[in-house]
Structure 1
Amino acid sequence: MQRLAMDLRMLSRELSLYLEHQVRVGFFGSGVGLSLILGFSVAYACYYLSSIAKKPQLVTGGESFSRFLQNHCPVVTETYYPTVWCWESRGQTLLRPFITSKPSVQYRNELIKTADGGQISLDWFDNCNSKCYMDTTTRPTVLLLPGLTGTSKESYILHMIHLSEELGYRCVVFNNRGVAGENLLTPRTYCCANTEDLETVIHHVHRLYPSAPFLAAGVSMGGMLLLNYLGKIGPKTPLKAAATFSVGWNTFACSESLEKPLNWLLFNYYLTTCLQSSVNKHRHMFVKQIDMDHVMKAKSIREFDKRFTSVMFGYQTIDDYYTDASPNRRLKSVGIPVLCLNSVDDVFSPSHVVFMSSMEPNVEPNMGFELTTLRPEPELRSRVMLSR
């Protein structure tokens, strides 16, 4: 019996060592394990190259602008390869706050007054060390418009400034009323349909540097605001050109997409709480005209807009506001070159609405407008989680 027990212990030890060696080394080093890994890798690579990596789809309103972009911005015609390990839109959006860096930018703040007695906070990056444009009077100026509840501190804005710095440009960030820490002086915030504050900022910046080329770029809601402004003002704007990223072309479709169960859980409810937090800081300014308790019970962006935004800006119904806020209905009136980048899998702007907007029958053939659809990297996926 003693001898048998010793043999069993020895056999069990040898068996455990064998299994440990096989699990640790044998599976991954054996033909079967290697074949499984290689097979999965090949299948994933084939799917990625055939279904994910694609060339942007371009829709242009003018041949000359299209040729200009192809010559000076060839990336709009090259195959786009999203992040291999995270190419899905929702995954990118959720991971972006955790993996993106924040370049250091030193701002110069300026508060300007509005016609109704309010104030707007502008954050300037003057780029005083610009070697390409040492003359401050002619240094190109880029106006940046963040997304919903976004400010000059957003990572995507900081990266845009960093790239502009390398080009020698000056940047100024338009912070919507009440979101950048400044006090509200009047009971009014902002929305993407009302362009009065943006007009005030554009005229102010242009007066400061009338000889400098003036450009603008808007992300998400900032892009919607910019396009609505351009559609209202037409060719009379002092802006020479503009770009937008991840714009919601049709507000109704955007809202419907965000109200799908998974999208509501991942994005809609969170963004609603961000909106509620931004207005609750100035609660005392709105209590006379808006039921703030009702606003704070909103569970979606649509409910927030119905109870707060549409009421503040005098719309009879939420449908009236969403109709006025949709940039696709104003494309025919845009009078300067505009490049718009949209992702085909953006949950905030469904692809079928993007294509419908790009095929608007009223888009004039001589207009400098180009719509590009692609899958942007997390850094371009704007609003996206924290500042849509």
Structure 2
Amino acid sequence: MDYKPSLPFKNGHISTCFPTVFRKVKVDYIRERIETPDGDFLDIDWIKKGSDKVLVLCHGLEGSSNSNYIKGIGKYFSVRGWDILVMNYRGCSGEINRKIKFYNMGQIEDLETVLERTVTYEKVVIAGFSLGGGLVLNYLGRKNRYIPNLYCAMAVSAPCDAEGSSKKFDESSNAVYRKYFLKKLKRKMAAKLKIFPEAVHLKNALEANTIEEFDNLFTAPQYGYKDAHDYYEHVSANKVIKNIKIPILILMAADDPIMSPSCYPIEESKGNKNVTLQITRYGGHVGYVQLNKDSYWLEERMYEYIKDLEKQ
């Protein structure tokens, strides 16, 4: 199944930005708050159909259950009989979290906590997007054992080389994305600083002008890394793809504006029979727009992948 867009969406920037600005999807969530082992909380949002199978969705940087691509996928699968569980990362559910700690691409312990809510299901599928795709890949590549009912996974537009993606973010052609994310991140740093005024790295982060600077000033010191480079080395999923033990679709677009060539795990995927790597010519970053239907090509491809596995 290939993505064949209309002419405007053969531009990676248009494909990336259009869903955020123009797509409208309505879903009705049921919110549940769960406590984390370190005394914080995670808000998860459900669409329940009484199914024996559940799709767990992990959003991207500064996204949430309200992101249009998350709602679109949730609606598409729920209409087809699936329960949906959307993980909101710390500080992404509309309420600031209790700890200084937020989230990052290697913070798999929070995903583990969320997956504990799926033990009653016969079949669990996890799917991550952008940073969330890296999170899913890290969980699957770094854990020796998974939950027993985990059937398959999908990672969409995952920056498998975190440093390469960071440098792409900081190119002049990507200024709109860089400014957008830094503005959202700094807003959270400022809110958190009111709760923890002694946290120097929170204050320092307000001075960041690039993604790499932000990771140097906040992410690295907060999570115990020496610097941004050390952080990127530890969370880059291309190092652990070889360890994945269940079927997974890694879906990426060649025209993704925030992916460096090193982000595409072509060689890393060859040695693992569980990995299906699909690099489409077009699609942008978590885009895959389709205007002639209610659904986007992305959710159709994800559903097709699972149905094909079930036939094997």
**TM-score of the superposition, structure 1-length normalised?**
0.70
Matched letter for residue 223 of structure 2? F
Please show how residues 155-170 of structure 1 align to structure 2 within 5 Å. 155-170=68-83
**Which residue of the partner structure matches residue 243 of structure 2?**
333
Q: 1:252 to 1:378 in 2, by over 3 A?
A: closer
SS of 1:359 mapped into structure 2: helix
Cα distance in structure 2, aligned partners of 1:230 and 1:368: 11
Which residue is 2:127 aligned to? 217
Structure 1 residue runs of 5 or longer lacking an equivalent are 1-74, 128-135, 383-388
Segments of 5+ residues of structure 2 without an aligned counterpart are: 289-312
Partner of 1:257: 168
Question: What SS does structure 2 have at the residue aligned with 1:143?
Answer: strand
Question: Equivalents in 2 of 1:334, 1:288: separation in Å?
Answer: 41
Please tell me the root mean square deviation across aligned C-alpha atoms, in Å.
2.0
SS of 1:236's equivalent in the other structure is: coil
Q: Which residue of 1 aligns with 2:254?
A: 344
Name the SS of the counterpart of 2:165 in structure 1.
helix
Query: In 1, distance between residues paired with 2:145 and 2:249?
Result: 16
Name which of 269, 275, 281 aligns with 1:369: 275
Distance 2:177 2:199 in 1: 29
Aligned to 1:206: 118
Quickly say closer, same or farther: Cα 1:206–1:97, change in 2 above 3 A.
Answer: closer
Aligned match of 1:61: none
Deviations, residues 187-224 of structure 1 (Å, cap 9, x unaligned): 21111112111111112x233x2x42011111100111
For 1:347 and 1:99, the matched residues in 2 are separated by 19
Q: 2:17 aligns with which of 77, 94, 103?
A: 94
**Cα distance in 2 for residues equivalent to 1:256 and 1:313:** 21
In 2, distance between residues paired with 1:266 and 1:188?
Answer: 26
Q: Give the equivalent residue in structure 1 for 2:225.
A: 315
Q: Residue 66 of structure 2 aligns to which amino acid in structure 1?
A: K
Q: How many angstroms does 1:126 deviate by?
A: 0.5
Q: Deviations over 1:224-278 (max 9, x none)?
A: 1111011111453342100111110101111111221121x22112211111113
Residue 359 and residue 291 in structure 1: after superposition, are their counterparts in 2 closer, same or farther (change >3 A)?
Answer: closer
Equivalent position of 2:310 in the other structure: none
Q: Please give the secondary structure, in 1, of the residue aligned with 2:95.
A: coil
How far off is 1:302 after superposition? 1.0
The equivalent of 2:29 in structure 1 is 107
TM superposition score normalised by structure 2: 0.86
Query: Conserved in 2, the CA contact under 8 Å of 1:179 and 1:278?
Result: no
Deviates more, 1:237-246 or 1:212-221: 237-246
Q: 1:226 aligns with which of 111, 133, 136?
A: 136
Equivalent residue letter for 2:80: L
2:295 is matched with none
Paired AA for residue 254 in structure 1: S
Does the CA-based 8 Å contact 1:83-1:377 persist in structure 2? no
Match of 2:262 in 1: 353
Deviations 1:134-182 (A, max 9, x none): xx3x521010001111010111011001111122000010000011123
Q: Tell me which residue corresponds to 2:105.
A: 192
2:212 corresponds to 1:302? yes
Q: CA deviation at 1:379?
A: 9.0
Q: Output the CA distance in 1 between the equivalents of 2:285 and 2:218.
A: 30
Residue type of the alignment partner of 1:158 = K
Indicate yes or no: 2:54 matched with 1:144. no
1:293, CA displacement in angstroms?
Answer: 2.9
Q: CA deviation at 1:375?
A: 4.2
How far residue 99 of structure 1 moved from its aligned partner, in angstroms, is 2.5
Structure with the largest fraction of helix: 1
